[in-house]
A and B are shown apart, each in its own frame.
Chain A
């Protein structure tokens, strides 16, 4: 028996259904305003160069004494953690009583081409941590690093352990040389010095293209065919557009920092193997002795789960917790499951260590 039995009439129905969806849906698409993002009120508490530290305002006052500072990646905009009302890690953390701050790195331009990882980690992040600690009148704060921001948070915590009470990493690469890490695989043949000397800053479009080519058929084609199905659902369509906007709303990457990140993390795997220096300060993950919560996504194609799991073997703490989330790199912030599991997971873990 053959593997395919498609009735012509059924195929005809499918074709007409698609046409009808497109006819009705495109009018809806045209009528939609530009999608907005950022669900939660926030106030600016610190500004330096292009970065801004925000403190989010919940509906009630925070009950947690130690604030959380979210350190997001440089490669995307941080509003993914507060995308919309019903998809917001921040909002859910606030509802649990946490006091949440976030570093918004802003959009890098040519003036930032010479920023190094030393500037980012020993400079910006350190000063942001100090500002948040001073405002909260506490000697140490909780740090929540996401993706590349998680790798930065690991470096920072290892250099300044006295400033961090609890460390949370989300979808954070630690071992950059796992067999399934496609991005890392590609970067290892690059002459990154030649690349940065030539390009200066790394254009956002180029970064986006690299991410899309990790799964080209799904991300260039299947996604948009799937979009036809939701064309007549205004809410779903807005959600789709919001995500689409986030995906393509990326900053350029500061050349020198990018050079160092590719050379030392992706190519040298020094975070895992040792020998990493940020400026004149050595990074040794064994110096991270405070409690660590490591959250990763089991279907993550950007940061494979094994790249994150590796933290357990190299970190110095005896209080290490791992949370495997059933979803992908983006789903960990925006899926329905994520709203139920991730914020409460973080809050409960912190509450157990609040003394």
Chain B
């Protein structure tokens, strides 16, 4: 059971052991100048850090950050011990080259061959970042690839078995596809090896640079006197070496090929998964993409239409123009009627008024119908007595009077604007949209809110 911070007995033990360990190690180093490695395979601070790591495992309180920090702290303490050992005794007279070799070899830093990168035993103090980089090109790709490879392992094995066999018969297509998948995976592994070789080159270049930096410190008064300073110098050198390689044309080509090879492998794997899903009647990635593409096209179209017909001021302007047009038409009809019956203007005016009232009612009814709402007159009629089917058919088949064509168009367009405005609003409140459609006030009020 892990102690809590409130009762960290193990912590006190850990600190006491560390002190003893260091005392013992210092004595030993003093008696054995040139001691290049630690005196124990598992230093006590490792256990203390492990305790902390366990304490944080699964903890929501910055557990991931603590894990990263502890992992690197272990690395750093290892390095500190090794460097101290190197620095003690007769070592101070070592030159830059000897120091660099000692750092490289004594501390297990990559410098040999590319396979070291994939060797889990390679846990040198400074090897962490290179280990992280190796075998991946970009870790994100590598992680994804590892997951995929695990998932489809049985399929890959099947593909390997049939890799050299000619494809024929009922399973010809499937066999050929698996052969291609296997080839793509092998190609990816080849590209991965090329990438690892470049990472090794970057590491070696980092040590070349470190050596020259150390040489510059041989002058009196410029010596490095702390582990931290040496570590920082190594970081600078390692980054410089990496940058040189990472900016080379060779790296661009290798990196690109690595990513492309992985994408090809993934494409083949996805195609297989898609086919299996199809066979099982499950939705596939291709289908979802297809729906997504259509949906996006539809969203663009709706947006375009909304903007074309009624984006804010545009809708209001068009509505105002239509109103003016209607007023002019009314005015023109009044003048015509008046001039056609000059002797009885009052009667003509009354008839015109009656016509206008009827027309208004009809317009209102049509607009309301389009908005899915009954007119007031219909509502009251419906309350009184249900309309007969015959009457309904008659009403539907009766064309609007000639003089009402423009007005009818207007009503239809108002309703159309209401719908367009409703459709183009980013996230309409359902209740509001419905209400405005019912009241027929949608166009202007909505456009102002947008």
Contact = CB atoms under 8 A, between A and B. Distances in A.
Interface of A: 1-12, 14-16, 18-20, 22-23, 26-27, 29-34, 46-49, 110-111, 113-115, 119, 123, 134, 179-180, 182, 185-186, 188-191, 194-195, 197-200, 203, 205-210, 213-218, 220-222, 224-225, 227-228, 240-241, 244
Interface of B: 5, 8, 11, 14-15, 18-19, 22, 26, 29-30, 45, 48-49, 52, 55-56, 59-62, 65-66, 68-73, 75-77, 80-81, 83-84, 86-88, 91-96, 99, 128-130, 132-133, 138-141, 143-144, 214-220, 222-228, 230-232, 235, 238-239, 242-243, 246-247, 251-253, 255-257, 259-260, 263-264, 266-267, 270, 285, 288-289, 292-293, 295-297, 299-300, 303, 312, 426-427
B303 to A, nearest CB: 7
B144 to A, nearest CB: 8
B91 A2 contact: yes
Contact of B73 (A7, A10, A12, A228): A228
A204 B377 CA distance: 61
Contacts of B18: 15-16, 19
17 contacts: A3-B215, A4-B83, A4-B225, A6-B84, A8-B84, A10-B226, A11-B84, A12-B84, A30-B55, A110-B288, A110-B292, A114-B295, A189-B252, A195-B260, A217-B239, A221-B129, A228-B69
Contacts of B48: 19, 22-23
A20 B223 CA distance: 27
B227 A11 contact: yes
B270 A198 contact: yes
A115 B293 CA distance: 9
A217 B426 contact: no
Contacts of B77: 15, 18-19
A7 B296 contact: no
B78 to A, nearest CB: 10
Q: Which of A119, A190, A224 has the most CB of B within 10 A?
A: A224
B140 A210 contact: yes
B128 A189 contact: no
A113 B296 CA distance: 9
B423 to A, nearest CB: 14
Contact of B29 (A1, A8, A115, A119): A8
Given A2-B92, A29-B65, A221-B75, 10 more contacts: A6-B226, A11-B84, A19-B14, A22-B49, A32-B62, A113-B296, A186-B255, A205-B140, A206-B141, A227-B65
B306 to A, nearest CB: 11
Q: Which of A3, A11, A110, A224 has the most CB of B within 10 A?
A: A3
A14 B226 contact: yes
Contacts of B293: 114
Given A26-B52, A30-B56, A209-B140, A4 B224 contact: yes
B296 A2 contact: no
A22 B99 contact: no
Contacts of A9: 26
Contacts of A14: 80, 226-228
A216 B230 contact: no
A49 B259 CA distance: 32
A222 B235 contact: yes
B140 A203 contact: yes
B129 A217 contact: yes
Contacts, number: 260
B26 A12 contact: yes
Given A111-B292, A194-B260, A218 B49 contact: no
Interface of B is mostly: helix
A12 to B, nearest CB: 5
Contact of B5 (A12, A27, A49): A27
10 A-B pairs closest in CB distance? A189-B256, A206-B140, A11-B84, A6-B87, A3-B217, A114-B296, A209-B140, A224-B72, A3-B214, A48-B426
A6 B141 CA distance: 41
Nearest to A189: B256
Contacts of B75: 221, 225
A192 B400 CA distance: 60
A90 B74 CA distance: 40
B255 A1 contact: no
A143 to B, nearest CB: 21
A218 B266 CA distance: 31
Contacts of B93: 1-2
Nearest to B293: A114
A119 B62 CA distance: 37
A189 B223 contact: no
Contacts of A5: 87, 92, 223-225
A208 B141 CA distance: 12
A8 B256 contact: no
A46 B259 CA distance: 39
Contacts of B263: 191, 194-195, 198-199
Contacts of A4: 83, 86-87, 92, 94, 99, 214, 217, 223-225, 230
Given A220-B128, A244-B65, A195 B259 contact: yes
A22 B29 contact: no
Q: Which of A29, A110, A191, A244 has the most CB of B within 10 A?
A: A29
A8 B228 contact: no
A30 B61 contact: yes
B92 A113 contact: no
Contacts of A115: 296
Contacts of A188: 252, 256
A216 B87 contact: no
Nearest to A22: B73
Q: Which of A4, A15, A207, A225 has the most CB of B within 10 A?
A: A4
Contacts of A185: 246-247, 251-252
B62 A29 contact: yes
A12 B68 CA distance: 23
A46 B312 CA distance: 14
A241 B255 CA distance: 32
Nearest to A193: B263
Given A180-B247, A189-B257, A197-B267, A6 B252 contact: no
A244 to B, nearest CB: 6
Nearest to A14: B227
Contacts of A12: 22, 26, 84
B166 to A, nearest CB: 28
B81 to A, nearest CB: 7
Nearest to B91: A2
Contacts of B218: 1-3
Nearest to B12: A23
A1 B221 CA distance: 10
B215 to A, nearest CB: 7
A19 B235 contact: no
A54 B52 CA distance: 42
Nearest to B268: A198
A1 B239 contact: no
A244 B66 CA distance: 12
A220 to B, nearest CB: 5
B108 to A, nearest CB: 15
Contacts of B94: 2, 4
A121 to B, nearest CB: 14
A23 B242 CA distance: 34
